[in-house]
Amino acid sequence: MSVLTDVPTSTDESRAIETDILIVGAGPAGLYGAYYAGFRGLSVTVMDVLPQCGGQISAMYPEKPIFDIAGFPAVRGRDLVDNLVAQAEPYGPRYLLGHRAAELSHGADGRPVVRSDQGATVRAGAVVITGGVGTFTPRPLPAGEDYLGRGQVYFVPDPAAHTGHDVVVVGGGDSAFDWAAVLSPVARSVRLVHRTGRFRAHGATVDKVRALGIEIVTDSEVSALHGTARLEQVEIRHRTTKDTRLVPAQTVVAALGFLADLGPLQNWGLTLQARRIAVDTHMATNLPRVFAAGDITDYPGKVRLISVGFGEVATAVNNATTVIDPEAALFPGHSTEKEN
């Protein structure tokens, strides 16, 4: 994977990165779009605010099995992302990771120009937005912000980094229970703390965590974190009795959910429906040469599944191809007809 580090930062379009298609969003749909653009013989640049590919999968559940990908009875999130990156790699996509797509304009020739919050400028034949739920920000752990990077985390991209730790997971949703189950084999101990006795997580996931012998502390909250250079102890307080106890912890996973919004995309002039981007059957937006695909889109009958996003981004890229080159065919032919 080629991550761009030497990128133009001038607003002068003549110094912009030139690409046939700019994909905004490096989640599953975006990565498949990078493959499909390459398959169509187009150059492609992928921009994402996160520092790694995979979107929510990499950030929230890289170790979780996914069961609704066609042709895979089950595939681990991390493996799906790795395979999508490998699928696109022969076509040499360029990645701008850690760059938020901030501003959109159109040049004198009608081509979109996107500038990132890091100062990179990309001039494209077309833009395909595959931003998932948009920008998602973790809900903070009130007692723990001072320990971010010193034991408190929101994501667990590498469970092995917490080997031998006493871990406290805070939350009652699927992510909290998933992290507890994933960390159980490598951690010295795992506790899950939730403010009520009712969980948002799927019942089977709750049963799995109970079967692993993980302590589930209900009607309680993490009221304080303690330690010198790094986290050493967590204070847990019962919400009714106010009784507290200290437990050892070198890692606290705050899995309290996320706040999502479209971020700067809201200011691009896109037609929005319920905070989603409205598209037509071509996956075209109301803006010239700007398409969208995946969970970020909305249209009558929309179903938000990864598998649907794969089809949508293929539709978007093929229609974008005919905009970039009006003589190009919409249907590219089957991949089995291409020489290896």
pLDDT of residue 62: 76
Same fold, 2-136+259-337 and 140-256: yes
Ramachandran sector of residue 283 (left: φ over 0; alpha: ψ -120 to 50; beta: rest): left
Tell me what the mean pLDDT of segment 49-57 comes to: 86
Cα atoms in the 13 Å half-sphere on the side-chain side of 106: 13
Closest C-alpha among 285, 57, 250, 36 to residue 163: 250
Distance in angstroms (rounded) separating the CA atoms of residues 218 and 216:
6
Are 22 and 72 a contacting pair, CB within 8 Å? no
Q: Where are the domains of the chain?
A: 2-136+259-337, 140-256
Query: Span 140-256: which CATH code?
Result: 3.50.50.60
Helix (H) or strand (E) holding 121: strand 121-129
pLDDT of residue 6: 53
Report for 171-180, 254-263, 287-296: range of highest mean pLDDT = 287-296
* Sequence-ordered strand ranges (E) for 49-111: 65-66, 75-76, 94-97, 101-106
pLDDT of residue 56: 82
Binding site feature residues? 48, 56, 61, 101, 136, 295, 336
pLDDT of residue 114: 97
Query: Which fold is adopted by the domain 2-136+259-337?
Result: FAD/NAD(P)-binding domain (3.50.50)
pTM of structure? 0.80
Binding site feature residues for FAD? 48, 56, 61, 101, 136, 295, 336
Q: What is the pLDDT of residues 214-255, one digit of tens each?
A: 999 999 999 999 999 999 999 999 999 999 999 999 999 999
Of all residues in the chain, what percent are helix, strand and coil, respectively (each to 5)? 25, 30, 45
